[in-house]
Amino acid sequence: MDWPHWLDPAPAGFPSPYNRHGPGYRRALKPDLLAPGGRAAFRKPELASNQNLKIVDHPNAPGQYVAAPGARSGDLNAITKMVGTSNATALMSRAAAQLIPVLDELRASASDGISLPQEVPDALWIKALLVHRARWGSAGGHYQQLFETPENKQQLKNQLGRFLGCGLVDSDPIRECTATRVTALSGGSLSAEAGSLHRFPLPPSLSGKQGWRSLTVTLAWFSPIHTLNERWRRAHLWFKSPDSKLKIGSKAQLERSGADYHAVQRGTLQHEVFEGEKVSAFVDGDTMTIHVSCREDAGPLTESIPYALAVTLEVDPSIGEIYSEIRDRIEIRERVVATG
């Protein structure tokens, strides 16, 4: 955009200034996701005293091409440029639709007792998987440098979550694993004051090796509503920090990146990313345990709440292949459970 009176408000991948910014109800993390909605150009004020910016309405302005009514009756090929959250919503709806064949394929290939839990509806799997590859990316680092001060350092992640949510969506990688990236799905249903343990095998080839590794955990559920209670959500589900020899925390092998730890537990979607490069030592057979819990939130909870859980471990290619190691160990464990 090199027009002299146009202003480019933000680089690609950054939240647009025409969005509403969070937080959500009861300080829940909002927005949930960032998705492309078309670049917008603003017209620079002609007077220095005028601080109002207006979006440029011009045929050569940036934006996304969308279907539009044609000049002639019956024209089905007309397009025009638009920007807005409706564009982003349409792209996310398309990404959600592309996940349905993935779920169908997983069910069709189920064997030896390994299958998606039947009590978990597809909408929950899609909800979890859509956000599972969301990251703050370069926008997070840029905003942190821009807004961080000695006074707000402890609260900055919570504040940035109002602009970035869980981050920018990248739905392509979630549709298949690679030799160095493994995604496992689990789920079930929980009643009030109950919990469930989910174990994810650690690949032996990762032990003792230094290099980048990333652990992503996403939990999604729907809650019944109490219309006469200001808290409105009857059920609250959450998971604790994964417990394994891949230690998590300040100065540990893996550290949190992205949204604030408390903010991600205030809605019906908990998404956390842990990254690091430090060496971890463990032996074949060691696992990572994720504890999912359920409690009453607004009034009595008399029904079980289905939930979907997605876990991804990704490593630098220099570490080597981890997919087959994790796949084989999941199959062995499931066979023992099924016949024991």
| pLDDT-based confidence at residue 334 (cuts at 50, 70, 90) | low
pLDDT surpassing 70 at residue 112: no
pLDDT surpassing 70 at residue 48: no
Instruction: Kindly state the percentage of the chain with pLDDT values over 90.
Output: 43
Beta-carbon contacts of 169 under 8 Å, excluding residues fewer than 6 positions away, are: 33, 34, 35, 92, 95, 130, 131, 133, 134
Chain segment 189-240, per-residue pLDDT in tens: 999 999 999 999 999 989 989 899 999 999 999 999 998 998 889 999 999 8
How much is the pLDDT for 113?
60
The more confidently predicted of residues 109 and 47 is: 109
The more confidently predicted of residues 58 and 179 is: 179
| pLDDT-based confidence at residue 134 (cuts at 50, 70, 90) | very high
Chain segment 57-86, per-residue pLDDT in tens: 777 778 898 988 888 888 889 988 888 889
How much is the pLDDT for 3?
65
pLDDT surpassing 60 at residue 335: no
pTM summary value: 0.89
- Kindly list the domain boundaries of the chain, sorted by start residue: 119-339
